[in-house]
Amino acid sequence: MMKFLVSIFLLLIGYSAFGQQDAQYTQYMYNTIAINPAYAGNRGMLSAIALHRSQWVGLDGAPETQSISLHSPVGLGRLGLGLSIVNDKLGPSSETYFNGDISYTIQTSVEGRLSFGLKLGAHVLDVDFNKLNLPPETIDPAFENNIDNRLTPNIGTGIYYHTDKFYAGLSAPNLLRNEHFEASNNTNNNSSFVAAERIHYYLTGGYVFDINPTLKFKPSTMIKAVAGAPLQVDLTANFLISEKLTLGAAYRLDAAVSGLIGYQVSDQVSLGFAYDRETTELGNTQFDDGSFEVFVRFELFNSYNRMLTPRFF
Protein backbone atom coordinates (compact mmCIF):
# COMPACT_ATOMS: atom_id res chain seq x y z
CA MET A 1 0.00 0.00 0.00
CA MET A 2 2.76 2.43 0.98
CA LYS A 3 4.68 1.73 -2.24
CA PHE A 4 1.50 2.43 -4.20
CA LEU A 5 0.99 5.78 -2.47
CA VAL A 6 4.63 6.75 -2.91
CA SER A 7 4.46 5.84 -6.59
CA ILE A 8 1.34 7.98 -7.04
CA PHE A 9 2.93 10.97 -5.32
CA LEU A 10 6.25 10.70 -7.17
CA LEU A 11 4.33 10.43 -10.43
CA LEU A 12 2.39 13.60 -9.62
CA ILE A 13 5.52 15.46 -8.50
CA GLY A 14 7.34 14.44 -11.66
CA TYR A 15 4.34 15.51 -13.72
CA SER A 16 4.30 18.85 -11.90
CA ALA A 17 7.92 19.45 -12.81
CA PHE A 18 6.88 19.75 -16.43
CA GLY A 19 3.35 21.11 -16.13
CA GLN A 20 2.36 22.36 -12.69
CA GLN A 21 -1.43 22.05 -12.47
CA ASP A 22 -3.70 24.66 -10.91
CA ALA A 23 -6.59 23.64 -8.67
CA GLN A 24 -9.34 21.81 -10.55
CA TYR A 25 -13.05 22.69 -10.43
CA THR A 26 -16.04 20.81 -11.79
CA GLN A 27 -18.42 23.70 -11.00
CA TYR A 28 -16.18 26.21 -12.78
CA MET A 29 -19.20 28.11 -14.15
CA TYR A 30 -20.07 29.27 -10.61
CA ASN A 31 -16.48 29.99 -9.53
CA THR A 32 -15.21 31.95 -12.54
CA ILE A 33 -13.43 34.53 -10.38
CA ALA A 34 -10.92 31.82 -9.39
CA ILE A 35 -9.58 31.55 -12.94
CA ASN A 36 -10.47 34.87 -14.61
CA PRO A 37 -9.92 38.27 -12.92
CA ALA A 38 -12.06 39.99 -15.59
CA TYR A 39 -15.12 38.38 -13.98
CA ALA A 40 -14.77 40.62 -10.90
CA GLY A 41 -17.95 42.66 -10.46
CA ASN A 42 -19.73 41.07 -13.42
CA ARG A 43 -22.63 39.76 -11.39
CA GLY A 44 -23.64 43.34 -10.66
CA MET A 45 -23.65 42.95 -6.87
CA LEU A 46 -21.51 41.82 -3.96
CA SER A 47 -21.01 38.09 -4.49
CA ALA A 48 -19.16 35.71 -2.13
CA ILE A 49 -18.54 32.00 -2.69
CA ALA A 50 -16.94 29.28 -0.56
CA LEU A 51 -16.01 25.96 -2.20
CA HIS A 52 -14.51 22.67 -1.04
CA ARG A 53 -13.25 19.88 -3.30
CA SER A 54 -11.99 16.44 -2.27
CA GLN A 55 -10.44 14.49 -5.14
CA TRP A 56 -9.95 10.71 -5.28
CA VAL A 57 -11.66 10.10 -1.95
CA GLY A 58 -10.18 7.05 -0.23
CA LEU A 59 -6.64 7.63 -1.48
CA ASP A 60 -4.28 8.84 1.24
CA GLY A 61 -2.74 12.20 0.41
CA ALA A 62 -5.15 12.86 -2.47
CA PRO A 63 -5.72 16.49 -3.56
CA GLU A 64 -8.01 18.74 -1.50
CA THR A 65 -8.95 22.32 -2.35
CA GLN A 66 -10.70 25.04 -0.39
CA SER A 67 -11.41 28.47 -1.84
CA ILE A 68 -13.10 31.62 -0.57
CA SER A 69 -13.66 34.61 -2.83
CA LEU A 70 -15.74 37.75 -3.01
CA HIS A 71 -16.13 40.42 -5.67
CA SER A 72 -18.30 43.42 -6.40
CA PRO A 73 -18.72 46.33 -8.82
CA VAL A 74 -17.75 49.72 -7.44
CA GLY A 75 -18.76 53.26 -8.37
CA LEU A 76 -20.85 53.35 -11.54
CA GLY A 77 -20.26 49.67 -12.19
CA ARG A 78 -17.46 49.87 -14.74
CA LEU A 79 -14.85 48.95 -12.15
CA GLY A 80 -14.87 45.61 -10.34
CA LEU A 81 -12.80 44.48 -7.36
CA GLY A 82 -12.29 41.01 -5.92
CA LEU A 83 -10.35 39.06 -3.29
CA SER A 84 -9.72 35.32 -3.09
CA ILE A 85 -7.88 32.75 -1.00
CA VAL A 86 -7.25 29.24 -2.33
CA ASN A 87 -5.64 26.41 -0.37
CA ASP A 88 -4.58 23.37 -2.38
CA LYS A 89 -3.18 20.23 -0.70
CA LEU A 90 -1.51 17.20 -2.26
CA GLY A 91 0.24 14.61 -0.09
CA PRO A 92 2.91 16.39 1.97
CA SER A 93 2.51 19.69 0.10
CA SER A 94 0.22 22.63 0.87
CA GLU A 95 -0.11 25.65 -1.40
CA THR A 96 -2.02 28.81 -0.49
CA TYR A 97 -2.83 31.58 -2.95
CA PHE A 98 -3.78 35.13 -1.91
CA ASN A 99 -5.06 37.18 -4.84
CA GLY A 100 -6.65 40.53 -5.55
CA ASP A 101 -8.59 41.11 -8.77
CA ILE A 102 -9.49 44.29 -10.61
CA SER A 103 -11.57 44.60 -13.77
CA TYR A 104 -12.79 47.32 -16.08
CA THR A 105 -15.95 46.89 -18.17
CA ILE A 106 -17.08 48.61 -21.35
CA GLN A 107 -20.53 48.31 -22.90
CA THR A 108 -20.24 47.04 -26.48
CA SER A 109 -23.97 46.87 -27.32
CA VAL A 110 -27.38 47.12 -25.67
CA GLU A 111 -26.79 43.80 -23.89
CA GLY A 112 -23.09 43.10 -24.46
CA ARG A 113 -20.33 43.94 -21.99
CA LEU A 114 -16.59 43.32 -22.35
CA SER A 115 -14.33 43.25 -19.30
CA PHE A 116 -10.55 43.32 -18.91
CA GLY A 117 -9.02 42.00 -15.70
CA LEU A 118 -5.76 41.88 -13.76
CA LYS A 119 -4.88 39.50 -10.91
CA LEU A 120 -2.15 40.35 -8.39
CA GLY A 121 -1.16 38.24 -5.41
CA ALA A 122 1.21 35.88 -3.69
CA HIS A 123 1.67 32.14 -3.33
CA VAL A 124 2.91 30.30 -0.22
CA LEU A 125 4.28 26.75 -0.46
CA ASP A 126 4.93 24.25 2.33
CA VAL A 127 6.22 20.71 1.78
CA ASP A 128 6.87 18.21 4.58
CA PHE A 129 8.75 15.34 2.96
CA ASN A 130 8.70 13.44 6.27
CA LYS A 131 5.06 12.59 5.60
CA LEU A 132 6.09 10.48 2.63
CA ASN A 133 7.73 7.69 4.69
CA LEU A 134 9.85 6.88 1.68
CA PRO A 135 11.47 3.42 1.50
CA PRO A 136 15.30 3.66 1.83
CA GLU A 137 15.87 2.69 -1.81
CA THR A 138 13.88 5.70 -3.03
CA ILE A 139 15.49 8.37 -0.84
CA ASP A 140 17.00 11.23 -2.85
CA PRO A 141 18.73 14.39 -1.55
CA ALA A 142 15.98 16.40 -3.23
CA PHE A 143 13.63 15.15 -0.51
CA GLU A 144 15.89 15.76 2.50
CA ASN A 145 14.99 19.40 3.25
CA ASN A 146 11.41 20.52 3.86
CA ILE A 147 10.06 23.68 2.28
CA ASP A 148 8.58 26.14 4.78
CA ASN A 149 6.49 29.18 3.83
CA ARG A 150 8.20 29.80 0.49
CA LEU A 151 6.62 33.03 -0.79
CA THR A 152 6.45 33.84 -4.50
CA PRO A 153 4.55 36.58 -6.38
CA ASN A 154 1.69 36.05 -8.77
CA ILE A 155 0.24 38.07 -11.64
CA GLY A 156 -2.50 37.06 -14.06
CA THR A 157 -4.83 38.54 -16.64
CA GLY A 158 -8.05 37.83 -18.50
CA ILE A 159 -10.91 39.09 -20.66
CA TYR A 160 -14.60 38.28 -20.26
CA TYR A 161 -17.61 39.02 -22.48
CA HIS A 162 -21.26 38.42 -21.66
CA THR A 163 -24.82 39.23 -22.56
CA ASP A 164 -27.98 38.07 -20.76
CA LYS A 165 -27.72 34.69 -22.53
CA PHE A 166 -24.09 34.17 -23.54
CA TYR A 167 -20.66 34.39 -21.96
CA ALA A 168 -17.07 33.71 -23.02
CA GLY A 169 -13.76 34.26 -21.29
CA LEU A 170 -10.04 33.82 -21.92
CA SER A 171 -7.56 34.03 -19.07
CA ALA A 172 -4.13 33.15 -17.72
CA PRO A 173 -4.36 33.46 -13.90
CA ASN A 174 -0.61 33.02 -13.33
CA LEU A 175 1.93 34.45 -15.77
CA LEU A 176 5.06 33.94 -13.65
CA ARG A 177 7.28 30.84 -13.78
CA ASN A 178 8.06 30.40 -10.09
CA GLU A 179 10.36 27.54 -9.07
CA HIS A 180 9.08 25.45 -6.17
CA PHE A 181 11.88 22.98 -5.45
CA GLU A 182 15.62 23.34 -5.18
CA ALA A 183 17.92 21.58 -7.59
CA SER A 184 19.15 18.22 -6.36
CA ASN A 185 22.59 18.15 -4.74
CA ASN A 186 23.00 14.49 -5.58
CA THR A 187 26.46 14.22 -7.13
CA ASN A 188 25.55 10.83 -8.63
CA ASN A 189 22.83 12.41 -10.69
CA ASN A 190 23.66 15.05 -13.27
CA SER A 191 20.06 16.16 -13.62
CA SER A 192 18.42 18.76 -11.43
CA PHE A 193 14.99 18.39 -9.89
CA VAL A 194 13.27 21.75 -10.26
CA ALA A 195 9.51 22.24 -10.57
CA ALA A 196 8.52 25.50 -12.21
CA GLU A 197 4.98 26.73 -12.66
CA ARG A 198 3.79 26.84 -16.25
CA ILE A 199 1.30 29.30 -17.69
CA HIS A 200 -2.24 27.91 -17.72
CA TYR A 201 -4.63 29.21 -20.34
CA TYR A 202 -8.39 28.93 -19.74
CA LEU A 203 -11.08 29.30 -22.38
CA THR A 204 -14.66 29.25 -21.04
CA GLY A 205 -18.03 29.73 -22.66
CA GLY A 206 -21.72 29.01 -22.30
CA TYR A 207 -25.19 29.87 -23.57
CA VAL A 208 -28.64 29.85 -21.95
CA PHE A 209 -31.59 28.47 -23.94
CA ASP A 210 -35.17 29.10 -22.77
CA ILE A 211 -36.87 25.75 -23.37
CA ASN A 212 -40.17 26.88 -21.82
CA PRO A 213 -41.26 29.32 -19.07
CA THR A 214 -40.09 26.95 -16.31
CA LEU A 215 -37.05 25.29 -17.91
CA LYS A 216 -33.70 26.70 -19.03
CA PHE A 217 -30.81 24.78 -20.59
CA LYS A 218 -27.20 25.90 -20.48
CA PRO A 219 -24.39 24.01 -22.20
CA SER A 220 -20.94 25.25 -21.19
CA THR A 221 -17.30 24.35 -21.58
CA MET A 222 -13.91 25.01 -20.07
CA ILE A 223 -10.71 24.25 -21.96
CA LYS A 224 -7.44 24.37 -20.04
CA ALA A 225 -4.08 24.29 -21.82
CA VAL A 226 -0.60 24.15 -20.28
CA ALA A 227 2.74 23.20 -21.80
CA GLY A 228 3.83 19.67 -20.94
CA ALA A 229 0.35 18.40 -20.03
CA PRO A 230 -2.60 17.03 -22.01
CA LEU A 231 -5.31 19.47 -23.05
CA GLN A 232 -8.15 19.39 -20.49
CA VAL A 233 -11.66 19.79 -21.90
CA ASP A 234 -14.75 19.98 -19.68
CA LEU A 235 -18.19 19.74 -21.30
CA THR A 236 -21.20 20.49 -19.07
CA ALA A 237 -24.97 20.51 -19.55
CA ASN A 238 -27.12 22.15 -16.84
CA PHE A 239 -30.91 22.51 -16.59
CA LEU A 240 -32.55 25.16 -14.40
CA ILE A 241 -36.04 24.16 -13.27
CA SER A 242 -38.54 26.78 -12.03
CA GLU A 243 -35.69 29.20 -11.24
CA LYS A 244 -34.78 27.02 -8.23
CA LEU A 245 -33.36 23.58 -8.96
CA THR A 246 -30.33 22.95 -11.17
CA LEU A 247 -29.54 19.46 -12.49
CA GLY A 248 -26.64 18.67 -14.78
CA ALA A 249 -23.98 16.31 -16.05
CA ALA A 250 -20.41 16.85 -17.19
CA TYR A 251 -17.65 15.02 -19.01
CA ARG A 252 -13.95 15.72 -18.62
CA LEU A 253 -12.25 14.41 -21.73
CA ASP A 254 -10.46 11.09 -21.05
CA ALA A 255 -10.65 11.75 -17.30
CA ALA A 256 -14.04 11.73 -15.55
CA VAL A 257 -17.82 11.93 -15.71
CA SER A 258 -19.75 14.09 -13.23
CA GLY A 259 -23.20 14.76 -11.86
CA LEU A 260 -24.19 18.24 -10.62
CA ILE A 261 -27.06 19.53 -8.51
CA GLY A 262 -27.78 23.02 -7.23
CA TYR A 263 -30.54 24.82 -5.38
CA GLN A 264 -31.45 28.50 -5.07
CA VAL A 265 -32.38 28.63 -1.40
CA SER A 266 -33.34 32.31 -1.53
CA ASP A 267 -32.56 35.42 -3.58
CA GLN A 268 -29.31 35.70 -1.63
CA VAL A 269 -28.19 32.08 -1.07
CA SER A 270 -27.49 29.21 -3.47
CA LEU A 271 -25.92 25.79 -2.92
CA GLY A 272 -24.22 23.35 -5.28
CA PHE A 273 -22.82 19.81 -5.22
CA ALA A 274 -20.90 17.78 -7.80
CA TYR A 275 -19.62 14.21 -7.85
CA ASP A 276 -16.93 12.99 -10.25
CA ARG A 277 -16.08 9.43 -11.20
CA GLU A 278 -12.76 8.74 -12.90
CA THR A 279 -12.82 7.05 -16.30
CA THR A 280 -9.08 6.36 -16.08
CA GLU A 281 -7.46 3.23 -14.62
CA LEU A 282 -7.38 4.91 -11.21
CA GLY A 283 -11.18 4.86 -11.13
CA ASN A 284 -11.15 1.07 -11.33
CA THR A 285 -8.97 0.63 -8.24
CA GLN A 286 -10.11 0.06 -4.67
CA PHE A 287 -8.38 3.28 -3.59
CA ASP A 288 -10.62 5.75 -5.46
CA ASP A 289 -14.20 6.40 -4.31
CA GLY A 290 -14.62 9.34 -6.66
CA SER A 291 -14.35 13.10 -6.09
CA PHE A 292 -16.87 15.55 -4.68
CA GLU A 293 -17.25 19.30 -4.66
CA VAL A 294 -19.62 21.51 -2.68
CA PHE A 295 -20.14 25.29 -2.71
CA VAL A 296 -22.30 27.94 -1.10
CA ARG A 297 -22.78 31.38 -2.63
CA PHE A 298 -24.13 34.48 -0.90
CA GLU A 299 -25.11 37.63 -2.79
CA LEU A 300 -26.11 41.04 -1.47
CA PHE A 301 -28.01 43.50 -3.62
CA ASN A 302 -30.35 46.44 -3.22
CA SER A 303 -33.68 47.27 -4.78
CA TYR A 304 -32.02 48.90 -7.81
CA ASN A 305 -30.05 45.88 -9.00
CA ARG A 306 -32.16 43.02 -7.66
CA MET A 307 -32.16 40.11 -10.10
CA LEU A 308 -35.51 39.22 -11.66
CA THR A 309 -34.28 35.64 -12.09
CA PRO A 310 -31.18 33.87 -10.75
CA ARG A 311 -28.11 34.44 -12.96
CA PHE A 312 -27.11 31.16 -14.56
CA PHE A 313 -23.43 32.15 -14.86
Give residue-wise pLDDT tens across range 116-128. 999 999 989 888 8
Number of other residues whose CB lies within 10 A of the CB of residue 17: 17
Question: Is residue 151 included in any domain, yes or no?
Answer: yes
The CA-based dihedral angle spanning residues 17, 19, 23, 26, taken in that order and rounded to the nearest 10 degrees = -140
Distance CA 115, CA 41 (A): 10
15: pLDDT confidence band, cut at 50, 70 and 90? Answer: very low
Domain that holds residue 158: 36-179+211-300
| 239 falls within a domain | yes
Q: Does 195 reside within a domain?
A: no
pLDDT of residue 222: 96
107/239 Cα distance (integer angstroms): 29
Residue 85, CB-side half-sphere exposure with 13 Å CA sphere: 3
Query: Is the Cβ–Cβ distance between 108 and 116 less than 8 Å?
Result: no
CA dist 43 and 50 (Å) reads: 16
How far apart (Å, rounded) are the C-alpha atoms in residues 164 and 160? Answer: 13
What pLDDT, on the 0 to 100 scale, is given for residue 133? 67
**166 domain residue, yes or no:** yes
pLDDT at 250 over 80: yes
Arithmetic mean of pLDDT over the chain: 83
Taking 70 as the threshold, does the pLDDT of residue 50 lie above it? yes
The number of folded domains in the chain is 1
Q: Give the pLDDT confidence score for residue 224 in this predicted structure.
A: 95
Among 44-48, 59-63, 81-85, name the one with the lowest average pLDDT.
59-63
Decide if 8 is inside a domain.
Answer: no
Q: Are 217 and 209 in contact (CB under 8 A)?
A: yes
Is pLDDT larger for residue 142 or for residue 244? Answer: 244
Cα–Cα distances (Å) from 265 to 47, 101, 169, in that order, read 15, 28, 28
pLDDT at residue 14, rounded to an integer: 41
- pLDDT at residue 5, as a whole number: 43
CA distances for 160 relative to 37, 59, 112, 280, angstroms: 9, 37, 11, 33
Q: What gap in Å lies between CA 71 and CA 81, rounded to an integer? A: 6
Give the Cα separation of 198 and 179 in Å (integer). Answer: 10
Determine what percent of the chain falls in helix, strand and coil, rounding each to the nearest 5: 15, 50, 35
Q: Number of H helices and number of E strands within the chain?
A: 1, 15
- Is it the case that residue 290 has pLDDT exceeding 90? no
Comparing 230 with 213, which gets the higher pLDDT? Answer: 213
Q: Is residue 133 classed as helix, strand or coil in its secondary structure?
A: coil
CA dist 234 and 243 (Å) reads 24
The residue among 139 and 20 whose pLDDT is bigger is 139
221 is a domain residue: yes
In the predicted model, is pLDDT for residue 7 greater than 60? no
H/E stretch holding 13: helix 2-19
Q: Which residues pair with 204 in a beta bridge?
A: 169, 222
Looking at residue 192, its pLDDT comes to 45
The whole-number average pLDDT for the span 72-99 is 91
Is the pLDDT at 243 greater than 80? The verdict is yes
Length of the chain: 313
The CATH number given to whatever domain includes residue 175 is 2.40.160.40
Question: CA 42, CA 33: separation in Å to the nearest integer?
Answer: 10
274, part of any domain: yes
| More confidently predicted of 5 and 210 | 210
Of 48-62, 201-215, 237-251, minimum mean pLDDT range: 48-62
Give the angle subtended at the CA of 85 by the CAs of 121 and 117, to the nearest 5°.
50
Residue 178 has pLDDT above 50, yes or no: yes
pLDDT of residue 123: 87
Q: What is the average per-residue pLDDT within 207-211?
A: 96
In this prediction, residues 87-111 reach a mean pLDDT of 92
**Domain assignment present for 27:** no
Best mean pLDDT range from 173-182, 231-240, 280-289: 231-240
Give residue 289's pLDDT. Answer: 80
Confidence bin at 225 (pLDDT 50/70/90): very high
